[in-house]
Copies of this chain bind each other. A is one copy, B any other.
């Protein structure tokens, strides 16, 4: 039986799926962060290996006819990583996988907000332009990191209210000044963990959280519009935009004229892209039922 492998190597987790050419899943596994731009290459490799080996467990490796791996940031893949696959993998940007996770159309705009944030214009499965994606230090505006940093900024300035209370509690800080000390001592990206607190506080009516949500959504919409051409498909991806919450709702409202659709699992989209390389008519709806 001919099967394909799809892998989505994200900042939070790595997910792999093995599916038949008509989209029937025969193996699935997930592991930790497999993005070599976010963690050490050896850690990323070990996580990707765990996900791929897990998905291939119980599958006849001789049947694997194609593999696609979606990687954020650095797309160079070493021979070591290629050796994990029974066939040479196709490596594409995570934004290409994200577009395919929302639409069978080979062209369109994808807006991703997970730990980072980026918008990409894609034509025929190829990136032709991006906006933001500059990393936590210089950009990623509206991302989970950005939202979390705003929450910490609000708390360290002792802005009264639920958000500050939630941040102090989450960090185990006794007072506002300790927030700065704890934030400085932690790895920079740890601030992304505070993002859900912004959503929680916003839902409960905290004005500081509502302001952060509004600004974050506006920044994400601006990033989207830097590359989007009206009339082309628009896909929302990444945890901030695929999980229900105030940021997702605000962004959907701002982008309503572009009728954005929500991305499904990236690994399924990667498997569909792999299937297309051997079977151009592989049905998108079978890999990504909506």
Contacts and interface: CB of A to CB of B under 8 A. Distances in A.
Contact of A188 (B37, B133, B156, B188): B188
A95 B288 CA distance: 60
A152 B191 CA distance: 21
Interface string A23-40: 000000000000001000
Q: Which of A133, A138, A179, A188 has the most CB of B within 10 A?
A: A138
Contact of A135 (B134, B136, B139, B184): B184
A39 to B, nearest CB: 13
B138 A180 contact: yes
A125 interface: no
Main SS at interface, chain A: helix
A153 B157 CA distance: 24
B188 A134 contact: no
Interface in A132-184: 133-139, 149, 152-153, 156-157, 179-180, 183-184
Given A138-B156, A138-B180, A139-B153, 17 more contacts: A37-B184, A133-B180, A135-B183, A135-B184, A136-B184, A137-B149, A137-B152, A137-B180, A137-B183, A137-B191, A138-B149, A138-B152, A138-B153, A138-B179, A138-B183, A139-B156, A139-B180
